[in-house]
Amino acid sequence: MTFVRVCGADELEEDTPKRVELDGTPISIVHTEGELFAIHDICSHANVSLAEGEVDDCHIECWLHGSRFDLRSGKPDSLPATRPVPVYPVKIEGDDVLVSLTQES
């Protein structure tokens, strides 16, 4: 699995998504509850950025219609979204946040 640097760890704020792009793929990086997550940044219900939504209880909420996606699995747990969004392997090495486009789910 190949990991690529997407940002510095010091660029992340707790519970504040950071939108990055890796090889043309929009990704939200989220640091919450002591963990780091990488989730596809486009809501599966509407073509809007999830990074503009709020993070709570290991979920990210789409600001447009209120669908919430589990940061661990990408699965929605509220309507109107019914399809999951991809999540990606993410890790920190030194001061760098690295993501692989290999999907975890």
Structure tokens at 42: 């486009």
Collapsing DSSP states into helix, strand and coil, what is residue 11?
A: helix
The pTM is what? 0.93
Rounded mean pLDDT, 46-73? 96
DSSP string, 45-58: SSS-BGGGS-EETT
Tokens 């010091």 appear where? 10
The residue type at 32 = T
Separation of alpha carbons 21 and 28, rounded Å: 9
- Residue 87: helix, strand or coil by DSSP? strand
Q: Is the pLDDT of residue 77 over 90?
A: yes
The residues near 10 (Cβ < 8 Å, ≥ 6 apart) are 95
Helix, strand or coil, per DSSP, at residue 9 = helix
pLDDT for the residue 102: 84
Residue 103's pLDDT is what?
A: 66
Across the chain, what does the average pLDDT equal?
Answer: 95
- pLDDT score recorded for residue 1: 85
